[in-house]
Amino acid sequence: MLTLMIFLPLLGFVLNGTLGKFLPKAISGWLGTAAVFGSFVIALMSFMDLTGDTTMPERIYTKLFTFLHVGNFHVDFAFQFDRLSAVMTLIITGIGTLIHMYSIAYMHEDDGFYKFFAYLNLFIFNMLVLVLGSNYLMLFFGWEGVGLCSYLLIGFWYKNVDFGKAARKAFIMNRIGDLGLLMGLFLIYDTYGTFEYQDVFKLVFAGSAESNAVNTAIALLLFIGAMGKSAQIPLYTWLPDAMAGPTPVSALIHAATMVTAGIYLVIRSEAIYALSPIAREVVMWIGLATSIMAALIGLKQNDIKKVLAYSTVSQLGLMFIALGCGAYTAALFHVITHAFFKALLFLGSGSVIHGMHHEQDIRQMGGLRKKMPITYLTFLIGTLAITGFPFLSGFFSKDEILMSAFAHNPLVFGLALVSAGITGFYMFRMFFVTFHGTYRNTHHGYDKVHESPLLMTLPLLVLAVLSVIGGAVNLPQYLGESISGGLHHLLSYDGGGQFSPILMYPEHAIELSHTAEIGLLVMAVSVFVIAFLYTRNKYVTQGAVPESDEAQAGMGKVLANKFYVDEAYDTAFVSPIEAAGDVVGNYVDDKGVKGFVDGFGSGSNFISRLLSKIQNGNIEYYLVYMVIGVALLLAFNLF
């Protein structure tokens, strides 16, 4: 079953990839969707088995074949389906199915329709390998694989050179992270002699005489990988650019699934992180910095997808804060809810873009709520969910993060709260500018704007429902002991006596007094309210339109230009490397190494010409040379 679950999407990819060209678009699209949906069904069944039936082992393990066996280096091509994987799998296949469906309509007019579905299926396959692999190398397989699919899909519209550039940027930044991850893997193997999660954690847990310094190093190296995949400082700049891809891609890969792989990795390696407070601290501060910075940049973006992209980066930062604080459940919880509402938002924005005939600039929109009621409604729900409207999914997950941050360090809590607050500002800004006010586009008439077809709105509705009720998976304690903490219990399952818990070190319940809890809640809600009121006042009541980038000044300009990070990277890394390539290629290699070698040749030729001069054709000289030769020989021999 497990194998089937993983390989169904691959089958979809192969079928679409080979036969797709000859299939009608509808079949091709539904084929892809069905493959993912099949996986989802199997995953759901397996999940039920796993949690419902106590006789089942704590994980389903399947070894397909030995991938590499060299001396004592041994890696199996094997999968495991445990509780953490299950959650991730459900998100991936579930949201994946919805987005596939959505894409059938969204991509309907595209030439590369079948290709698109093939890529999406391939992505799902790789993502499943990532989360279902039973060892770090399998994770790395999926890790690289999703990076590749991301590359393929960002650059899906290959005729556009900028899109291609964005795709490459995404892939390369991911690879930088991958290198760190790879080094981390080597260090793991060096230290523990295996890649299998179970064996590694057993050894880590047994504290097999390895110093925490080694674990810290492993944790940090793994985190470099996570930085790349989950778009953390300093490797985050690819994600906003990745919006070049079709919108369903952004929803699936760059919001719901792939970018959370970093979170998954850290949760998976909890045993290691648990031993390294330093690494956790690093994770937390980087998450925090990323969160705030991305949120600030989001304030001044005018591309609807860019705003969402920076929002994603910011939310991922929040998750890392949770991880850094040791609140793994909270992080995973936010992963889930974020998957719901961010996918919703992206799909909603896709619907807007679709309705606006591929216009992405919010300044060209306005007043869309009348033309696109379903989109408007679902988008509103998404916005509310992400900004933390009470009792929507985002409210619970975000609060849990904030609370764990508070328990860890009030300063962190404060900063995280700021970040969460800014979320409200930019989200409502975008929302109001897009859907309220007056229509501002000059190219397309207002009458040409239309609501999306059912195939697109249906997933929106489903996701909207999920965004509302998603909090149910891990309700806080104050809502009642019996219904709360579902996810927490899931992850804290002790393995039923066998050794395979998800979290080695069971999380302590956050010991906060109810007053403090309520206080925190109030603070969070009030920040939300302030943001809502301010933006509503500015963009709806006053009808302000964000000014163009050129008109920005001061801090606004800095924000609009994303803190000039891309430019700084260009100056600091890209240009020097390219310059070095030129210098090495044109001077060191061509003139230096080759010149040195050719020097022997020209040297020989020089001597050759010299010898030709000696051979001047005059016999008298020859005779003299000869006699000198004789004389020297005699002198050399006789004395």
Partner 1 sequence: MMQNLPIPFLVLSFLTILSALYVVTSKNPVHSVLALIFTFFTISAHYVLLNAQFLAIVNLIVYAGAIMVLFLFVLMLLNLSKETEPVKSNWWGISAAITAGCLLLIITAAFQVSGEAVAKNPVEGIGLVKALGKVLFTRFVVPFELTGILFLASMVGAVLLGKREKGNDALISKEELNG
Partner 2 sequence: MIALFVTFFSAVALLFLGLNKKESNYSVFAAISLFASAGLSWACSANLMSFGILESWVPANMMLFGKEQHLFSALLAFIVGLIILMFRKNEIIGNDQLGLMMFSLCGAYMMVSYQHLVMLFLGIEVLSIPLFVLAGASKNNLASNEAALKYFLMGAFSTGIFLLGTAFIYGGTGSLELEMMGIKPSFMHAMEGMPLPVLINAGIVLMSVGLLFKVAAAPFHFWAPDVYEGSPNRTTLYMATIVKIAAFVAFYRFLNTFAGIADAWKGWISVLGGLTILWGNIAALNQTSVKRTLAFSSIAHAGYLVMFLLMADGTNTWILWFYGLAYALASVLVFSIANQLSVSTGKKDFSAFNGLAKRSPIVGVALVVGVLSMAGIPVSAGFNAKFYLFSFAWQHMPWLVGIGLLGSAISVGYYFKFFKHAFMQESEERMPMVDRGWLLLLASLILLLGAMPWAVLNGIF
Partner 3 sequence: MSILNIFSQVEISHYIYLSTVLFCIGLFGVLFRRNAIILLMCIELMLNAVNLLFTAFSSYMGDSDGQIFVFFIMVVAAAEAAVGLAILVLVYRNTRSTDVSFLDQLKG
Contacts with partner 2 by CB under 8 A lie at 601, 604-605, 607-609, 611-612, 615, 617, 619, 621-623, 625-626, 628-630, 633-634, 636-638
Q: Shortest gap between Cβ of 614 and partner 2 (angstroms)?
A: 8
Q: Which is nearer to partner 2, 70 or 619 (CB)?
A: 619
Q: Is 314:298 a contact under the CB 8 Å cutoff?
A: yes
Q: Which is nearer to partner 1, 511 or 620 (CB)?
A: 620
Question: Is 614 exposed, middle or buried, given 0-12, 13-18 or 19+ CB atoms closer than 10 A?
Answer: exposed
Q: Which is nearer to partner 2, 533 or 634 (CB)?
A: 634
By CB under 8 A, how many residues form the interface with partner 1?
A: 10
Q: Shortest gap between Cβ of 602 and partner 3 (angstroms)?
A: 19
Q: Shortest gap between Cβ of 624 and partner 1 (angstroms)?
A: 6
Q: Shortest gap between Cβ of 618 and partner 3 (angstroms)?
A: 5
Q: Which residues pair with 76 in a beta bridge?
A: 66
The HSE-up count of residue 272 (CA atoms within 13 Å, CB side) is 28
- Provide long-range contacts, Cβ within 8 A and 24+ apart, for 184-192: 184/217, 184/218, 184/220, 184/221, 184/222, 184/224, 184/225, 185/136, 185/137, 185/140, 187/214, 187/217, 187/218, 187/221, 188/136, 188/218, 189/73, 191/218
Q: Under rule CB under 8 A, which residues in 191-230 are in contact with partner 3?
A: none
Contacting residues for 424 by C-beta, under 8 A, at least 6 apart = 387, 388, 527, 528, 530, 531, 532, 535
Query: Does the footprint of partner 1 cover residue 622 (CB under 8 A)?
Result: no
Q: Which stretch binds partner 1 (CB under 8 A): 102-110, 232-240, 355-363, 624-632?
A: 624-632
Q: Which is nearer to partner 1, 583 or 627 (CB)?
A: 627
Query: Does the footprint of partner 1 cover residue 631 (CB under 8 A)?
Result: yes
Q: Shortest gap between Cβ of 611 and partner 1 (angstroms)?
A: 21
Q: Which residues pair with 70 in a beta bridge?
A: 73
For 617, left (φ over 0), alpha (ψ -120 to 50), or beta? left
- Among 529, 553, 627, 633, which residue sits at the site for partner 3 (rule: CB under 8 A)? 627
Q: Which residues pair with 78 in a beta bridge?
A: 63
Residue 161 binding result from partner 1, partner 2, partner 3, none, given CB thresholds of 5 to 8 Å by partner type: none
Q: Is the dihedral of CA 265, 38, 473, 352 positive or negative?
A: positive
Tell me the C-alpha distance between 327 and 317, whole Å.
14
Q: Map residues 595-624 to x or -, x wherever contact with partner 3 holds by CB under 8 A.
A: -----------------x--xxxxxx--xx
Q: Which is nearer to partner 2, 206 or 638 (CB)?
A: 638
Residue type, 136: Y
Q: Map residues 602-621 to x or -, x wherever contact with partner 1 holds by CB under 8 A.
A: ------------------x-
Query: Does the footprint of partner 3 cover residue 586 (CB under 8 A)?
Result: no
Q: Shortest gap between Cβ of 623 and partner 1 (angstroms)?
A: 9
Residue 631 binding result from partner 1, partner 3, partner 2, none, given CB thresholds of 5 to 8 Å by partner type: partner 1
Residue 572 binding result from partner 1, partner 2, partner 3, none, given CB thresholds of 5 to 8 Å by partner type: none
Question: How many beta carbons lie within 10 A of that of residue 91, not counting itself?
Answer: 24
Residue type, 400: E
Q: Under rule CB under 8 A, which residues in 51-90 are in contact with partner 3?
A: none
Q: Which is nearer to partner 2, 519 or 629 (CB)?
A: 629
Pairing of strands 73-81, 60-70: antiparallel
Interior/surface letters 166-179, b for 16+ CB within 10 angstroms, e for the rest = bbebbbbbbbbbbe
Q: Which is nearer to partner 3, 572 or 623 (CB)?
A: 623
Q: Which stretch binds partner 1 (CB under 8 A): 120-128, 419-427, 527-535, 627-635?
A: 627-635
Q: Shortest gap between Cβ of 615 and partner 2 (angstroms)?
A: 6
Q: Which is nearer to partner 2, 568 or 623 (CB)?
A: 623
Q: Which stretch binds partner 1 (CB under 8 A): 113-121, 179-187, 322-330, 625-633?
A: 625-633
The tokens of 140 are what?
A: 């790395």
Q: Which is nearer to partner 2, 209 or 638 (CB)?
A: 638
By CB under 8 A, how many residues form the interface with partner 3?
A: 10
Instruction: Give the chain's count of helices (H) and strands (E).
Output: 26, 2
Q: Shortest gap between Cβ of 620 and partner 3 (angstroms)?
A: 6
Q: Which is nearer to partner 3, 515 or 618 (CB)?
A: 618
Contacting residues for 528 by C-beta, under 8 A, at least 6 apart = 387, 388, 389, 421, 424
Q: Shortest gap between Cβ of 637 and partner 2 (angstroms)?
A: 5
The 3 state secondary structure assigned to 604-633 is HHHHHHHHHHHCCCCHHHHHHHHHHHHHHH
Query: Does the footprint of partner 1 cover residue 629 (CB under 8 A)?
Result: no
Query: Does the footprint of partner 3 cover residue 518 (CB under 8 A)?
Result: no
Question: Is 603 exposed, middle or buried, given 0-12, 13-18 or 19+ CB atoms closer than 10 A?
Answer: exposed
Q: Which stretch binds partner 1 (CB under 8 A): 288-296, 409-417, 597-605, 622-630?
A: 622-630
Q: Which is nearer to partner 3, 443 or 613 (CB)?
A: 613
Length of the chain (residues): 639
Q: Which residues pair with 133 in a beta bridge?
A: 79
- Among 572, 574, 588, 624, which residue sits at the site for partner 1 (rule: CB under 8 A)? 624
For 69, the 3-state DSSP assignment is: strand
Using alpha carbons, list the distances in angstroms from residue 217 to 79, 194, 200, 211, 417: 26, 17, 15, 10, 30
Q: Shortest gap between Cβ of 627 and partner 3 (angstroms)?
A: 6
Q: Which is nearer to partner 1, 564 or 621 (CB)?
A: 621
Q: Which is nearer to partner 2, 469 or 623 (CB)?
A: 623
Query: Does the footprint of partner 1 cover residue 627 (CB under 8 A)?
Result: yes
Q: Is 388:398 a contact under the CB 8 Å cutoff?
A: yes
Which of 206, 362, 215 has the alpha carbon at shortest distance from 277? 215
Residue type, 577: I
Q: Which is nearer to partner 1, 64 or 623 (CB)?
A: 623
Question: Residues interacting with partner 1, by CB under 8 A?
Answer: 620, 624, 627-628, 630-631, 634-635, 638-639
Question: Residues interacting with partner 3, by CB under 8 A?
Answer: 612, 615-620, 623-624, 627
